[in-house]
């Protein structure tokens, strides 16, 4: 069952690549005590994700933060190495935190997985955006499969 507005963001530990090497990261630490705009997408380096979704949040980062967002998080079912490289190539810098969900544990816990095996991509995340305040989901928009309509940076700005 998928999470909904009012759900507590699930506590999951994943691996994250830092300047000090591979580290464990708890989603509880990511969302505790602050307002976070999280957007998820099917995969790093995929066309819509690279051309529109991530760039939109990088471009609108200052506006989101001006509306009280402490952190912007990009989640994808990709390994830490891919997420770090993709973030660097897209010039995400400090604007967007690239959260790798390499085994899909966060995505499954949220109930927002997408079976892309027909495209030889395995199990991925649906495309969505949410606002999480102190660990509780206060706004959620999930795109229909194959579309990019309700999870953009502009949609999140409008919801704030």
Kindly list the catalytic residues: 49
pLDDT digit string, tens, across residues 50-105: 999 999 999 999 999 999 999 999 999 999 999 999 999 999 999 999 999 999 99
Phi, psi of 40 (to 5 degrees): -125, 150
Angle at 74 between CA 29 and CA 112, to 5 degrees: 90
Q: What's the pLDDT at 146?
A: 87
Asked if residue 1 has pLDDT above 80, the reply is: no
CA distance 76 to 97: 11
Give the pair of three-digit tokens for residue 91: 């010039």
pLDDT digit string, tens, across residues 105-153: 999 999 999 998 888 888 999 999 999 999 999 999 999 988 999 999 9
Closest by alpha carbon to 69, among 157, 142, 137, 158?
A: 157
The pTM of the full predicted model, rounded to 2 decimals, is 0.95
The residue whose two tokens read 């892309």 is 116
- Residue 19: pLDDT band (50, 70, 90) is confident
Q: What's the pLDDT at 120?
A: 85
Domains in the chain with CATH codes: 13-159 (3.40.30.10)
Q: What's the pLDDT at 121?
A: 84
Q: What's the pLDDT at 131?
A: 98
| The dihedral sign for the CA sequence 43, 47, 53, 57 | positive
Distances (CA, A) of 88 to 44, 97, 124: 12, 11, 22
């Amino acid at each position: 069952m998928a999470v909904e507005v009012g759900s507590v963001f699930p506590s999951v530990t994943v691996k994250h690549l830092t300047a000090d090497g591979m580290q464990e990261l708890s989603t509880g630490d990511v969302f505790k005590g602050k307002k976070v705009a999280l957007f998820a997408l099917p995969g790093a380096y995929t066309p819509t994700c690279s051309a529109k979704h991530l760039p939109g949040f990088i471009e609108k980062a200052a506006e989101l933060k001006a509306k009280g967002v402490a952190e912007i998080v990009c989640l994808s079912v990709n390994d830490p190495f891919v997420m770090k490289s993709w973030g660097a190539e897209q010039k995400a810098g400090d604007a967007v935190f690239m959260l790798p969900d390499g085994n899909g544990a966060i995505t499954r816990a949220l109930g927002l997985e997408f079976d892309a095996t027909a495209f030889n991509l395995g199990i991925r995340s649906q495309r969505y955006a949410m606002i999480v305040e102190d660990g509780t989901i206060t706004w959620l928009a999930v795109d229909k499969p194959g579309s990019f309509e309700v999870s953009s940076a502009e949609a999140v700005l409008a919801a704030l």
